[in-house]
Amino acid sequence: MQPTMLIVDDDTSNLASLLKIFERLDLRALPAADGSEALKTLREKSVHIVLTDLMMPGMSGVELLKNVKALSPDTEVIMMTAYGTIERAVEAMREGAYDFVTKPFRRAEIERVVTRAIEKQTLLAENRSLKEQLKDARQTHSFTGGIIGNAPALRQVLDVARQAAPSTATVLLMGESGTGKELFARAIHRLSPRVERPFIAVNCGALPDTIIEAELFGAERGAYTGAHATRDGRFMRAHGGTLFLDEVGELAPHVQVKLLRVLQSGEFERVGGTETLRADCRIIAATNRDLEQAVKSGDFREDLYYRLNVIPMTVPPLRSRRDDVPLLADHFVRLYANKNGKEIAGLSSRAREKLVDYAWPGNVRELENTIERAVVLSKSEILDETDLPDGIVDEARAADALSFPIGTPLEEIERRAIRETLRFTDGDKKRAAQLLGIATRTIYRKLD
Question: What is the full DSSP assignment across 55-85?
Answer: S-SSS-HHHHHHHHHHH-TT-EEEEEEEGGG
- Of the candidates 435, 363, 440, the one whose C-alpha atom is nearest the C-alpha of residue 399 is 435
Element (H, E) at 52: strand 49-53
Grouping H, G, I as helix, E, B as strand and the rest as coil, residue 149 is coil
CA-CA-CA-CA torsion sign (323, 137, 375, 181)? negative
Domain regions of the chain by residue span: 4-128, 146-316, 319-394, 410-447
Backbone angles phi, psi at 312, to 5 degrees: -80, 140
**E-assigned strand segments in 288-435:** 311-314, 346-347, 382-383
Domain 4-128 is in which class? alpha beta
Query: Up-side HSE of residue 190: CA atoms within 13 Å toward CB?
Result: 16
Question: One fold for both 146-316 and 410-447?
Answer: no
Residue type, 386: T
Phi, psi values for residue 300, rounded to 5°? -140, 140
Pick the CATH number of 319-394 from 1.20.1440.130, 1.10.8.60, 3.40.50.150, 3.40.50.300: 1.10.8.60
- Distance of alpha carbon 200 from the chain centroid: 28
| Separation CA 239–CA 172 (nearest Å) | 19
Q: How many residues does the chain have?
A: 448
pTM reported for the whole predicted model = 0.61
- Closest CA relative to residue 358, chosen from 370, 344, 343: 370
On whether the CB atoms of residues 29 and 2 are closer than 8 A, the answer is: no
Distance from the Cα of residue 266 to its chain's centroid? 41
Q: 146-316: which CATH topology?
A: Rossmann fold (3.40.50)
At 299 the pLDDT is 93
- What's the pLDDT score for residue 398? 41
Torsion of CA 111, 117, 119, 123, to 10 degrees: 180
Candidates 1.20.120, 1.20.1640, 1.10.1740, 1.10.10; CATH matching 410-447: 1.10.10
For strands 282-287 and 171-174, give the pairing. Answer: parallel
Tell me the residue ranges of DSSP E strands in 209-355: 242-246, 267-268, 277-278, 282-287, 311-314, 346-347
How far apart are the C-alpha atoms of 74 and 445, rounded to whole Å? 22
H/E stretch holding 92 reads helix 86-94
Rg (CA), the chain: 30
> Cα dist. 55→59, 147, 326, 409 in Å?
9, 54, 43, 54
pLDDT of amino acid 69:
86
Residue 389, helix vs strand vs coil: coil
What average pLDDT values come out for the chain (448 residues) when binned by 10 residues? 81 84 78 89 87 86 86 85 70 79 80 82 68 53 65 88 92 93 93 92 88 88 75 91 95 93 90 87 94 93 94 92 90 92 87 88 93 92 89 62 70 82 76 79 78
pLDDT score of 307: 94
